[in-house]
Amino acid sequence: MPTPSRRRQTRPDAPEAPDASDAPAVSTPRRRATIHDVAEHAGVSIGTVSRALNDRAGVHPDTRLRVLASAAALTYDPDKAARELSNRRAVDIALSVAHGYRRLTPFFGLFLQHLSEQLAVEGLQVREVASGDDGLPVRDADAFVLLDAHPDDPRIGHLARSGRAFVLVGHAHDVRCVAADDVAGGRIAAEHLLRLGHVDSVHLTADLHAQAFADRAHGFAAAFEAAGADQPTTIVADDASTLGGYRAMRAHLEGGTRPGAVFAATDELAIGCVTAAADLGLRVPSDLSVVGFDDLPELGARLTTVRQDIALLARETVTLLHEALAGAAVRAVRLPVTLVSRGTTAERRNR
């Protein structure tokens, strides 16, 4: 076995360890182990270590085990910069939320989490989450993910004109985009409610300017029409927050009408709605059935809702990102939604 070539250590700055005593004191911010350390520890070469850790073929099972053990013993964590550099994978992806983090809805928060997980799997990185006050991404990047965009968002035209790779999470014409099938979502919410006998439903939404909300409303209304039922009343809240939903619903209920069910365009609106009903002494679901949209984990643990698969949304986003980078043809994808029936809907009571 050839002696492992000594690591070169020529750079003369080394500002880290003030006392370079070799004993690794318990809480010393220890130097990160590199692949060389693992190789030395396991008595193999760095090539073998890399192959073993990346599940590449051509390494003996025993050796692999030994390498894995060494890596664990040294708490080896591959340097991401080096890996990216070597992989030619250094794709900068800028995430552009219309107004930065500050207006991040729980839905987009969850999406972000899935997206960065998905990208991490491929060794990619979300490099930036920001946009200037003009809404334009503040730095240059190889690809952009646009959140929260109206069809006429200035960012779309800007990115398209400059030939940048980007994908829109939402829906618009002639751009690469991905979104849940909102129309279908509205429809299955309606069908669920109709099946329970609720012909007197209302739709609680906000800002029908937003494509997603318009589509959900449309799907909902269309299903009622198809069933020969009366068109549902639409209530438009000031915004899509829980407070918006609460006030709009409370005002509506206090107006004297007592719908048997409400389809909220968002889980947040639904929560506001449920809260308003409770404050007015109405029991959910016996007095009022409520269907939400999104299926956010902890927000509506007990909410009957139209579920969209956020993990899938993130995966599709990444797929489209790759297509954009490769210069493929523009494509719009619609993701299926399902109704998950939980505790906030029940059969219509006779009054």
Q: Is the dihedral of CA 236, 237, 238, 241 positive or negative?
A: negative
78 forms part of the interface with DNA (CB under 7 A): yes
Q: Please tell me the distance from the alpha carbon of residue 196 to that of residue 210, in angstroms, as a whole number.
A: 29
Q: Which residue reads 């085990």 in tokens? A: 65
Core vs surface per residue 296-333: b (16+ CB within 10 A) or e? beebbeebbbbbbbbeebbbbbbebbbbbeeeeeeebb
Q: Dig out the tokens for 67 from the structure.
A: 């390498």
Q: Which of residues 81-120 bind DNA (CB under 7 A)?
A: 82-83, 85-88
Nearer to DNA, 36 or 334 (CB): 36
Comparing CA positions, the residue from 191, 186, 249, 242 lying closest to residue 212 is: 186
CB 36 within 8 A of CB 7: yes
DSSP code of residue 31: P
Biggest alpha carbon distance in the chain?
89
# residues near DNA by CB under 7 A: 44
Nearer to DNA, 71 or 110 (CB): 71
* Shortest distance (Å) from residue 300 CB to its own copies: 12
Q: Please tell me the distance from the alpha carbon of residue 205 to that of residue 263, in angstroms, as a whole number.
A: 8
Binding site for its own copies (CB under 8 A): 11, 16, 26-29, 32, 75, 77, 79-82, 84-85, 88, 90, 92, 99-104, 106, 108-110, 112-113, 116-117, 120, 125, 127-130, 139-140, 142, 163, 165, 241-243, 246-247, 271-272, 275, 279, 296-299, 325-327
* Shortest distance (Å) from residue 78 CB to DNA: 4
Q: Please tell me the distance from the alpha carbon of residue 322 to that of residue 328, in angstroms, as a whole number.
A: 9
* Shortest distance (Å) from residue 45 CB to DNA: 3
Q: Dig out the tokens for 62 from the structure.
A: 């025993």
* Shortest distance (Å) from residue 48 CB to DNA: 4
Q: Which does 68 bind (CB under 5 to 8 A by kind): its own copies, DNA, none?
A: none
- In the β-sheet with 332-335, what is the strand arrangement from edge to edge? 125-129, 92-101, 143-147, 165-169, 177-180, 332-335
**Beta-bridge partner residues of 100:** 98
The two beta strands, 289-294 and 332-335, are unpaired
Q: Which does 75 bind (CB under 5 to 8 A by kind): its own copies, DNA, none?
A: its own copies
12 forms part of the interface with DNA (CB under 7 A): yes
Nearer to DNA, 53 or 282 (CB): 53
* Shortest distance (Å) from residue 71 CB to DNA: 10
Q: Please tell me the distance from the alpha carbon of residue 48 to that of residue 59, in angstroms, as a whole number.
A: 7
* Shortest distance (Å) from residue 115 CB to DNA: 22
Q: Please tell me the distance from the alpha carbon of residue 196 to that of residue 346, in angstroms, as a whole number.
A: 7
Nearer to DNA, 10 or 27 (CB): 10
63 forms part of the interface with DNA (CB under 7 A): yes
Q: Which does 12 bind (CB under 5 to 8 A by kind): its own copies, DNA, none?
A: DNA
Q: Which does 325 bind (CB under 5 to 8 A by kind): DNA, its own copies, none?
A: its own copies
* Shortest distance (Å) from residue 106 CB to its own copies: 5
Segment lying near DNA (by CB under 7 A), choices 78-86, 220-228, 306-314, 324-332 = 78-86
Nearer to its own copies, 62 or 133 (CB): 133
Residues making contact with DNA (CB under 7 A): 1-2, 4-5, 7-13, 32, 34-36, 43-48, 50-51, 53-54, 56-64, 76-79, 82-83, 85-88
